[in-house]
Structure 1
Amino acid sequence: MKNISARKVMSVVTAAGLAACVCGAARAEVKKIEATYFTLDYETDAGWTFDEKKDLKDSQKASTLRIRILSAADPKRSDALVDIKANIENQSNFRRYLEQLGFDPYEYAEKRSYTLVPVGGVDCLVKEDSSKIDYLARVEGAGETIQISADSKEKLEDVKTLLKGLQFKVADAGKKDGPWYWNGTPYASAEHSAEVGPVTLNSKHVPIDPIIVQSVIGGNRIWSDGARAYILSNACKLAEYNLDGGKLVKKADIELDAQSNYQTMTVTDDGAVWLGGVGSGSCRIKDGAVEKIKGPRELVMHPSGTWGLERYGRKGADMKKYEIAADGTVATVDFPLAEVDYMVNAYLRIDANHIYVSGREAGSKETVLFVYDHGGKLEKILKEPAKNSMGGVYFAGETANGFVALPLQSVVILWDKEGNPIGRLNDVKKLYDSPTTGVAGNEDGILLPGGGLLTLTRRERADKSTYELVVFRVDGF
């Protein structure tokens, strides 16, 4: 996106200002900003300012502006900050922003339950508190999403005055948004086979009943023993399922705080479900009871349920081990993994034989998988079969013939028992028949006791009505 030229920022004189000039009184200078998708008239005397090179950008796809009133006490801070955005795009971002602001899509689209406020000639949803205002609108015929976000503890009235000088340019191009998710066609996929080196992988879609729609990226986890399963979705919704006839059928919801932000899930041998998240802390769920675990946050448990680890800090040397008694008492022990030089946002998992940690070796920028025994002794380092083929890691485990990972930059990577790369699959459509292009959309996985891998992925429907959480069973390891 190129910067808008300075010629589009012009000084204008209002009628009131002209009258003031005639009378010899001081006049308020009004400047006009003209971009492709909006204009803004603002008074400089009110203190509004912006950097034309950094804060004002314009193209045929979007117009954006950041304008502020600087603090008199500290010019590096702002007493008021306003972001104005007009983007030509499909409906996906608008629908995501809608939920982020706390609006219910069905209430908005079908029941028309929300009062709209005119801003800049467009009817907007508005969310306001004591120090922040958000406006959001979708102009379907123009294919345009409009956002205004304003922050100020003392000058929200100045913000509202500023926005009176805003005018959006909306041209009806006859565009049509895709259907809302309740009118859309659920995701479906045929069976597929794909070659990874000498290994043939076979995949089959495992439908979830009911489907899980509009899932956010992150906070989505799956566990199964082949007969039952748990799925954590949207970081705050947990449900138990029966895996029956190649289909996951919901058995029961498990109530969690709607504001939870869980990122890890472990199911231990005693049937307890352990969840962890930086903002939510850790908890153990057993027989319907939710018990908070004091201390660890993104806790990952050993199958025994007696100890776990947390990816604490930037380096493996900072790793913490938590020994957890039956009554929930926690003892914290340093558990340094010296070979892991960098592990921010690392993947961490513990199975019956190994500890898996993704990260980087000293002096390297390439992601690898470190495999340790339960005492913290390094066993193997699983490296990328090709440069930048791993990125983030969403699942790692040991198969009958070696190791498998579900990474960010590939669909799947395989290694033999010695840790030598077998190969990777890079083409999403060969295994998942996905209409989504780009990275694989992996979210999590679980190896089944009888063989096979359930992969949890995020897929956009062909009609672009929503994203779904989609499970595949992959065999052939």
Structure 2
Amino acid sequence: MKKQKKENSFKRGSVLIGFCILCLLAAALAGCGGKSMKGSKYLGKWNAVSAEMSGMEFSVSDFMDEFSIILKEDGTCEAHIDDEVETGKWEETETGVKIKDSTETLEMNEKDGHLYIEYEGVSFRFEKEGSESAVSSDSASADTESVKAEVSASSAGAEKESGTDEAASAESRDTSGTHMEMTLWDIYYPEGWTENEDDKGDSETNSYGRLEYKQGEEVLLSVGITATVEDCGGYRDFLHASGIDAHALVVDKSVEQENIGGVPCIVSETTSWGEPVLTYMGRDVGSGTTVKVSITGEYSDPEVDKLIKNLAFHLEDTGNEDYPWPWEGEVFSTDSEHSKMIADTTITSVWVPFEEPLLAYDIFSGRIASVGESLYVLLDNVLYEYTLGEKLTLKSTMELEDDYEELSADQNGNLYLTGFMSPMLTIKDGEITATNDDIDQAVIHSSGTWGISWFFGSEPEKVTIDGSKASKEAWPILPEESVGTARLSENHIFISGTDPESQNEAIWVFDMEGNQQMELGNQEYGGEQSLGSITDVVETENGFIGLDGNMREIFFWKSDGSLLGSAEDSELFGTEYPWISTAVRLPDGTVLIGLTEDRADNSATEFVIYRVSGF
């Protein structure tokens, strides 16, 4: 396949994060009244401080004034999004907090005193107001000062271990400026720089702050400094997002690094909202700390270099060991066959391993399509072609310049790649044969003559294809507030989303003319057809198979819309906690299902394929 150059698009990422924030709680926060949460450590106000996507971090304050969640004793909660307020109910779980209504569930997992929400590939970090993690350096206690001294005294070994020279670092620092001191780092900043008091926090496991160089009220340069005691996942995601080969960095040692504050860091140059951004990111294994310095603006300005030379990280070697690297880890494995009796039908799945493991970084991104003897996989913005047999053997790859989320195939061997704010690509035999700028997120019918385009919360549009040209027109077959995801089979259109009246997740089934035929799901939480988030629907000779990513379940409906039953991922695949994202029916009637699953040793996440039969 022809290779395309890939470039980072931070502007698009920022737009998506902003949209996710606005939509995030509308589905999960509904209803009133919950069970008493008196005494829970999670009671209080939690403020969103950052959002991370593909290893790149954004400050929530960059695009909204307030995003907070208030958890109350009576089991109710409020989400404040600027001037908007959503209400709901919550309960404490083993891993953090669960916010839910009758059908939707939103999990907030605790880590290092913070709460995190994972949503459509975006991770939001929340800090509890008034907690230690939210206390600024100006109000650090005497105990914290003592910890700083201990950490500073013991940091020499860790710096020496990572190839740094503390004495040389100290000699190069100009200590005549204003001293900004945090638990995990300190810096002397010269005249002209000021601290952003709204973007600063300090604790024993997370120290972050921002310095700005202004001309009047205009910020010419902005430098964010963060040190966080955490696992190595975020650092490794950043390597991938920056196009850095981890093996070349760690084993071959062929990737250049810069010593920033005593920690070797990789360097990434990107843009955000049209402004240049230079990011240094490093990992101190012994202390389990990831450090990051992001410079927004004209970072070649000499003032930046003068400032960064005055930074020092203070990290204590605690004997931490990171997860194995992907090439060191234990690859995914499971029993070759699983089966589940559903009503009077035996459903069987057979694991179809890749000849070489296919690693996933964005767990939500996997899509598959079948053409002849080839299986195509769209994952992490790369299109893979495999020969389908007892194993999947790689034939070719194509790296994509724009961001693509959907993959379709027609009976003529054409592939169609679409994505939000990206032109639709038509590909055949490894070559791009057509590009249509006006078609973004869509799926195309197997005839290759039409399709359906949608965006969350908008009315669907019909796509018409005439040769190499494609156009679209309004097709309001469902109210805009209901639309979540659209899928096509040979004879039906499937649109999944939230019923605006019941607020339950449902799948609406239409004929080719857009006439509704039946409704699947749309039951309250706990019902046998209660759905979470439908990621794909396929039609077989016996009915419909629905993949529920949130619930980690596979649903089976007969052709008349009656439910045969469902199977959990562990029953049908032998998996622990996958994201089940994609399916395609093969000519022999079996169905391939694709999902992502973490390895047992956390060294990587793999994309995994099963062949399902019996329905």
Under TM normalisation by the shorter chain, which class is it?
0.7 to 0.9
Q: In structure 2, which of residues 256, 267, 290 is the aligned counterpart of residue 145 of structure 1? A: 290
The answer for unaligned runs of 5 or more in structure 1 is 11-26
TM-score (norm 2): 0.66
Map Cα deviations across residues 14-67 of structure 1 (whole Å, 9 max, x no partner): xxxxxxxxxxxxx987243322x2233334x4231222xx42233444322234
Letter of the 2:470 partner, please give it: V
Report the aligned-residue RMSD.
2.9
| CA apart distance, 1:264 | 1.2
State how far apart, in whole Å, the 2-side matches of 1:268 and 1:342 are: 27
Aligned to 1:273: 415
Letter of the 2:263 partner, please give it: V
- 3-state SS of paired residue (1:181): coil
Aligned to 1:63: 207
Letter of the 2:428 partner, please give it: K
State how far apart, in whole Å, the 2-side matches of 1:308 and 1:176 are: 50
Q: In structure 2, which of residues 350, 353, 357 is the aligned counterpart of residue 204 of structure 1? A: 350
Map Cα deviations across residues 98-151 of structure 1 (whole Å, 9 max, x no partner): 121221112101111122222122121223479322111111122221111110
Q: Does the Cα contact within 8 Å between 2:584 and 2:592 map onto a contact in 1? A: yes
State how far apart, in whole Å, the 2-side matches of 1:398 and 1:49 are: 58
Which has the greater radius of gyration? 1
| CA apart distance, 1:305 | 0.7
Map Cα deviations across residues 239-287 of structure 1 (whole Å, 9 max, x no partner): 1x3322x32223x215x35423221111111121111123431122224
State how far apart, in whole Å, the 2-side matches of 1:201 and 1:58 are: 53
| CA apart distance, 1:336 | 1.6
Q: Does the Cα contact within 8 Å between 1:340 and 1:362 map onto a contact in 2? A: no
Aligned to 1:33: 181
| CA apart distance, 1:323 | 1.8
User: Do the aligned partners of residues 335 and 466 (structure 1) sit closer, same or farther apart at CA in structure 2, a change above 3 Å counting?
Assistant: same
Aligned to 1:7: 139
User: Do the aligned partners of residues 55 and 331 (structure 1) sit closer, same or farther apart at CA in structure 2, a change above 3 Å counting?
Assistant: closer
Map Cα deviations across residues 424-469 of structure 1 (whole Å, 9 max, x no partner): 444x4333333x54xx311211123333321111122222221111
More displaced 10-residue stretch of structure 1: 176-185 or 299-308: 176-185
Whether 2:231 is the aligned partner of 1:86: answer no
Aligned to 2:329: 184
State how far apart, in whole Å, the 1-side matches of 2:327 and 2:448 are: 40
User: Do the aligned partners of residues 291 and 228 (structure 1) sit closer, same or farther apart at CA in structure 2, a change above 3 Å counting?
Assistant: closer
Describe how 1:258-269 pairs up with structure 2 within 5 A: 258-269=400-411
Aligned residue pairs total 441
Letter of the 2:393 partner, please give it: V
The answer for unaligned runs of 5 or more in structure 2 is 1-113, 115-132, 143-174
Aligned to 2:110: none
Q: Does the Cα contact within 8 Å between 1:225 and 1:448 map onto a contact in 2? A: no
Q: In structure 2, which of residues 521, 544, 547 is the aligned counterpart of residue 403 of structure 1? A: 544
Describe how 1:11-410 pairs up with structure 2 within 5 A: 30-35=178-183, 37-43=184-190, 45-51=191-197, 54-70=198-214, 72-73=216-217, 78-128=219-269, 131-153=276-298, 156-190=301-335, 191-194=337-340, 200-224=346-370, 227-239=373-385, 241-244=386-389, 246-250=390-394, 252-253=395-396, 256-294=398-436, 295-312=438-455, 314-316=457-459, 319-326=460-467, 328-343=468-483, 346-384=484-522, 386-387=524-525, 390-410=531-551
| CA apart distance, 1:214 | 3.7
| CA apart distance, 1:152 | 1.4
State how far apart, in whole Å, the 2-side matches of 1:168 and 1:175 are: 17
| CA apart distance, 1:176 | 2.1
State how far apart, in whole Å, the 1-side matches of 2:289 and 2:573 are: 32
Q: Does the Cα contact within 8 Å between 1:193 and 1:430 map onto a contact in 2? A: yes
TM-score (norm 1): 0.83
Map Cα deviations across residues 187-226 of structure 1 (whole Å, 9 max, x no partner): 1111333455665533221101232124423442112378
Q: In structure 1, which of residues 451, 456, 467 is the aligned counterpart of residue 605 of structure 2? A: 467
- 3-state SS of paired residue (2:316): coil
| CA apart distance, 1:417 | 3.3
| CA apart distance, 1:164 | 3.0
Q: Runs of 4+ in structure 1 displaced over 6 angstroms?
A: none
State how far apart, in whole Å, the 2-side matches of 1:332 and 1:359 are: 22
User: Do the aligned partners of residues 422 and 157 (structure 1) sit closer, same or farther apart at CA in structure 2, a change above 3 Å counting?
Assistant: farther
Aligned to 1:442: 580
Q: Does the Cα contact within 8 Å between 1:225 and 1:449 map onto a contact in 2? A: no
